Structure 1
């Protein structure tokens, strides 16, 4: 029996129980495809029960002294530190994460949890003047109520925590729908963590369910006021449409076609090292991963050689091996999809600069040269360890090519002059961009989010606090008011 077999119950209304669906789902290890656990899925009735429990418990949660809520959130952070090795092991087996990636993810989740633990005492209001004599205007930040969170498989623990902790810290109830492929690391482990920290029964619920079975019920349910979704742009568009129809607030962190621009005066070795990390961490399965590397002609060959040399030294294979950097993709469908994009780009004129043999779900680091921006390797979000390097004549062409995409999530600019790098970065249509670094950056106190087809809203710090709260205006007429009739 797998050591993860006990993660086989839904967490609804503060109770660990089986779902009501007739479907039993098997959670697999993406490297060796061994069975981790099996769980009876939740259905629409379970989702309804979860939302009702969250709504009822949220009233209690909002009335608890803010310092007591801080203490509960801080206890969750302390428990995470105690259970750090447990979540790292789960991520390696369930997510295919390398030891490096699993540790980065645990640290990132802890960071946002600690930040969100301050939210209960940061729900600040304002007293403002009025044009009406004898009136005082008061502005209050209040919890939105109940948030529905849909989280992805790629950084399941952190990307769930990034919405969950701020939502709870701001005083809300939560119902979570984790990705089926990471139901433990992106869902049930978090339920146990916050249950043991002492949140009110029913405040946080995890519904492990299949979208094909529940349809749009998770989003369209009348109780949640906010839907937070991290995932693909096509699904995000659909969720955004549903939220608009039902007048719900929505936060969407969607796909990216992130660029790294390497200018001719850049430090090439530094740029190559950044590109290797920004492309191949978590086998490229990160929304912020570099998707296109745009290099000025005078340094193209030098950069390509340095990048290939760096990438060819990366160990790939079994993520249980601590030396491995590139582990398996989440499933074989993703392997086949990326192989097709690479093959189509080769047929269109790209050439292999680095190639390895695919084994199972492990796709080795792959670099293509002679890439143009209209090729599939440049047009599609790869979400895997393959990348195209594009040559441009000058800086202006680099900026034009970088902006020639529907996406605008993250990116990087490498330049000899930092301030010139900032000038170029200002011209790139993206929510986040990093000078002399790479695209994969996420800090708990900084605004995180994209432009264009990469999403709506911002996570992190005070921006997350605003995403999960609403504003209420109360005016006080301190003196009798004279009315015109």
Structure 2
């Protein structure tokens, strides 16, 4: 692994941060130190933002064909380096090879798709006016500089889905990956875009200790947009800061996602999706299923099938391509998950599969007969704990599905597709998938939530809108008549 991957990347220069603090990037499976990173201080943040501000002016004026060359080459390089990216994510995040490979594939699609936005910056929307002789045009302009804060669980996709669109439309980016997945979430991306020909300063990467730098990345006067993916608690704080400083906030936060198995569902199909929805990336996904609502007709059989499948999931060293359940990201997260298990037992939920701990690896726990108002049902778990709740009527399950502060994703299994659509529209979430997993992504679909699950969207035209500003220009081709 290149030495540059433990460095900051500011204005095209790979260098150590100016802080005295050193962060050890640790493999969560075996506690091996992967890299030691000398972190940034506020002076480094100043330099990164000023570099981005200056570079953005020239990048926005760069001809479209030159920008496209950068993107096409970035796609080629990411394809060439797929194995390197996968290995880095498996080491840093402890995720499975399957998950890391999927993340690289999705990231390539996002970069490739973002090319279409380059031409759209010079193609105004034209609409008629009630004023004779007037033509109205709406142009999209780059927003400027984007401050991007990405999480550990999907370090590559969470960064790429924002920065690819931002750079395509002419913005510049200062990226702060989670330090636990700094390499795959920052320097490896910067290295690819640097080799692809992206000008210095358009993309900058920093790592810092929040205790030292505080809110400076958000409050800094240069960025006009702050994009954050992470917990609702932190997201609320960032949203407050953005409101105070009149910055645009794009926040993708937590979820307590319902998975509903209706009376007419195909049970085999539902169980297949349920296992993936819960245990992909060991449950460390904002859109994974937290609550399984199963019609009483299928309840006992669903539990039986689900438990049998969960028992069979390979666990252990994530570098083994067969492993599905790897380690949780750190000891703190392991303890949080085990505390949730103990609380669920105390609340009287029926434990139908007891997991075990091996280092930071936690194997699946499954609870049935869960009270939908219990702490277990109302907590974003972010781990391999499944919560199963029986229901009798559609009215009942809709009420329960919406009984949460969150509103990110959901799933409904039914053979009556139109009824599924009707019920999906009544679920208070940004996304609901019929006969599919709660864990889903499409480059052209709006990915985002309602309520405490965030503000704004990624994906397609919706992400394009997030990273641009609109300007109305009217053209009066004949003299206008004024009232005085």
- Per the normalisation by structure 2, the TM-score is 0.98
1:217-366 matches, within 5 Å, as 217-366=216-365
CA contact (8 A) 2:4 2:187 kept: no
CA contact (8 A) 1:20 1:45 kept: yes
Q: 1:416 to 1:184 in 2, by over 3 A?
A: same
Q: CA offset at residue 250 of structure 1?
A: 1.1
CA contact (8 A) 1:4 1:36 kept: no
CA contact (8 A) 2:4 2:14 kept: no
- Indicate the SS of the match to 2:147: strand
2:96 corresponding residue in structure 1: 98
- Indicate the SS of the match to 1:326: coil
- Indicate the SS of the match to 2:276: helix
Equivalences, count:
483
2:69 corresponding residue in structure 1: 71
Question: Residues 408-451 of structure 1, C-alpha deviation per residue, up to 9 Å, x if partnerless?
Answer: 00010011322222222121111101111110001111111111
CA contact (8 A) 1:268 1:306 kept: no
Whole-Å separation in 2 of the counterparts to 1:422 and 1:306: 26
1:466 corresponding residue in structure 2: 465
- Indicate the SS of the match to 2:369: strand
2:109 corresponding residue in structure 1: 111
1:141 corresponding residue in structure 2: 140
- Indicate the SS of the match to 2:342: helix
Q: 1:301 to 1:77 in 2, by over 3 A?
A: same
2:402 corresponding residue in structure 1: 403
Whole-Å separation in 2 of the counterparts to 1:63 and 1:438: 42
- Would you say 1:121 and 2:90 are equivalent positions? no
- Indicate the SS of the match to 1:42: coil
Give the gaps of 5 or more residues in structure 2: none
1:447 corresponding residue in structure 2: 446
Q: CA offset at residue 477 of structure 1?
A: 3.2
- Would you say 1:426 and 2:425 are equivalent positions? yes
2:474 corresponding residue in structure 1: 475
2:32 corresponding residue in structure 1: 34
- Indicate the SS of the match to 1:174: strand
1:393 corresponding residue in structure 2: 392
Whole-Å separation in 1 of the counterparts to 2:390 and 2:253: 27
Give the gaps of 5 or more residues in structure 1: none
CA contact (8 A) 1:328 1:362 kept: yes
Q: CA offset at residue 483 of structure 1?
A: 4.1
Question: Residues 118-144 of structure 1, C-alpha deviation per residue, up to 9 Å, x if partnerless?
Answer: 210122312333344443322111111
CA contact (8 A) 1:60 1:200 kept: no
- Per the normalisation by structure 1, the TM-score is 0.97
Q: CA offset at residue 380 of structure 1?
A: 0.5
2:48 corresponding residue in structure 1: 50
Q: 1:356 to 1:441 in 2, by over 3 A?
A: same
**RMSD, aligned CA:** 1.2
Whole-Å separation in 1 of the counterparts to 2:474 and 2:298: 63
- Indicate the SS of the match to 2:189: helix
1:21 corresponding residue in structure 2: 19
CA contact (8 A) 1:287 1:383 kept: yes
Q: CA offset at residue 314 of structure 1?
A: 0.4
Q: CA offset at residue 482 of structure 1?
A: 4.4
Q: CA offset at residue 248 of structure 1?
A: 0.7
1:150-165 matches, within 5 Å, as 150-165=149-164
Question: Residues 274-298 of structure 1, C-alpha deviation per residue, up to 9 Å, x if partnerless?
Answer: 1000100000001100000011112
- Indicate the SS of the match to 1:103: helix
Whole-Å separation in 1 of the counterparts to 2:452 and 2:305: 32
- Indicate the SS of the match to 2:357: coil
CA contact (8 A) 1:5 1:38 kept: no
Whole-Å separation in 2 of the counterparts to 1:182 and 1:221: 24
Q: 1:273 to 1:127 in 2, by over 3 A?
A: closer
- Indicate the SS of the match to 2:291: strand
CA contact (8 A) 1:178 1:208 kept: yes
Moved more, 134-143 or 107-116: 134-143
Q: CA offset at residue 366 of structure 1?
A: 1.1
CA contact (8 A) 1:377 1:387 kept: no
Q: CA offset at residue 365 of structure 1?
A: 1.1
CA contact (8 A) 1:92 1:320 kept: yes
- Indicate the SS of the match to 1:437: coil
Question: Residues 286-319 of structure 1, C-alpha deviation per residue, up to 9 Å, x if partnerless?
Answer: 1100000011112110111011111111001110
Whole-Å separation in 2 of the counterparts to 1:265 and 1:13: 58
